[in-house]
Copies of this chain bind each other. A is one copy, B any other.
Amino acid sequence: MPEPALIEYLDAHRSEFEEDLCEFLRIPSVSAASEHRDDIRRAAQWVAAQFRRLQFSVEVIPTEGHPLVYAESPSVDGAPTALVYGHYDVQPAEPLEKWTTPPFEPARRDGNLYARGATDDKGQMFTHLLSARAWIETKGRLPLRLKFLIEGEEEVGSDNLEKYIAANRQRLACDCCVISDSAQFAPGQPAITYGLRGIAYYELRLLGPNRDLHSGTFGGSVANPANALVRMLTALIDQRGRIQVPGFYDAVLPIGAEEREQLARLPFDEQQYKRELGLDDLAGEEGFTTLERRWVRPTLDINGLTSGYQGEGAKTVLPDRASAKFSFRLVPRQDPDEVTRSLRQMLQSICPPGIRMELIDHHGSPGVMVPLDSPYMKAAARAIQQAFGASPVFTREGGSIPIVATFHDLLGAETLLLGWGQDDDNTHSPNEKFALADFHCGIKASTILWEELSRIGKSAAAVD
């Protein structure tokens, strides 16, 4: 059980925490918009000032894009080091007319705080800063060493983050990483995400004749790049949802009976899922449940198609080119580079005469999985149980968070994905919100987490 003094402090300072978050949310730190460059800098400085107040050593690090904020507390003998990652930049707020209250004027309604960045990620990231504040103002020190790496480019691709991590492995050395930038399983049902899918994203461009042709005059005698594109894409996946790229499943482990049972026990309501998506029928790879299809199995989705005439009405053009963006979601052990090699070979072998192909490899990152029996995982589960009053469920996530693979590969550290948000928080949409109850439970869970982690001891990886 956490020390009563800490919990009393949290209870006594609820209004102050909310006010401080509101101050943070009033800075329109939209990373995608160059007119917000000064706001981005102001947000980085605001974050840095928070750390200074806690006597952390702080640095605002310039990059080719927006600055990183790095901060660390003193090392604690015999206790491990945790690295918290988050971001202070936010998505653009447009369309503004769809917001009930302005995106950068935080407003409380029905127990929620509405603002751009409320949950993604200012509000969630801030919980870990406030828990450190609680420790320092109550006990004078933290029970473990904390490092914080807070970036300003998460919403625009994190272009400068990996470079920084690769060049500063010693500085960032840690026993585990903590990220709060996602959602609970459902209201009242916190979750820890132990698996993420990877991704391999491509663009296939097919070129035919040297110009758009009249489909009447030339049609039938010339390979049509759009016809070729649909045929080549169709060859990549069969009607049962099985991907046909040679060797694609070689490294994929079958789902274990235990995990299968555990996923089946999750309170997932398929009818509601369909209702929310406006669908009568779901679909996917034969032989798997909906959650398995979303979390445990690889996929192929076309993300974009472009060719020929796309305006109103009809134009009888035989287009000179056609292109598709498409991506595989990968599961742990699948290697994006291997997929690229095999895919390129397959596409070249089925590219028809009269068509030249170009395959662009946009980006790839492997899937990751954190062992459920890791001591960090167990510490996080205990902290969440005490703060939220409910044991977390263990879930996977269909999306990819490349930073988690980077932390694994470059720092040798597993990441605890502790989402305090909800699925309906409208991240990236108008009326983004964060439930104030979730905000305070998050601070509490983080406060307890530092204590729980401190009991694990220091691993070799983090010895300075």
Contact = CB atoms under 8 A, between A and B. Distances in A.
A198 B126 CA distance: 66
24 contacts: A201-B314, A208-B279, A209-B278, A210-B277, A211-B278, A214-B398, A222-B279, A227-B300, A229-B230, A230-B324, A231-B234, A231-B239, A281-B354, A302-B307, A302-B319, A303-B315, A303-B317, A304-B315, A304-B317, A304-B319, A305-B322, A306-B310, A308-B325, A315-B325
Interface string A185-226: 000000000000101010100001111011111111111101
Contacts of A234: 230-231, 234
A221 B327 contact: no
A154 to B, nearest CB: 14
B305 A229 contact: yes
A445 B349 CA distance: 53
A131 interface: no
Given A277-B210, A304-B308, A282 B221 contact: yes
A400 B290 CA distance: 49
A343 to B, nearest CB: 15
A283 B223 CA distance: 5
A299 interface: yes
A85 to B, nearest CB: 18
Work out how many copies of this chain go into the complex.
Answer: 2
B302 A220 contact: no
Q: Chain A interface: which size bin?
A: 35 or more
Interface of A: 197, 199, 201, 203, 208-211, 213-224, 226-227, 229-231, 233-234, 237, 239, 241, 277-285, 290, 293-294, 297-310, 313-319, 322, 324-325, 327, 329, 352-354, 362-363, 397-400
Contacts of A304: 226, 307-310, 315, 317, 319
A461 B235 CA distance: 56
Given A219-B329, A315-B303, A230 B233 contact: yes
Contacts of A237: 227
Nearest to A157: B313
A135 to B, nearest CB: 34
Contact of A222 (B222, B223, B277, B362): B277
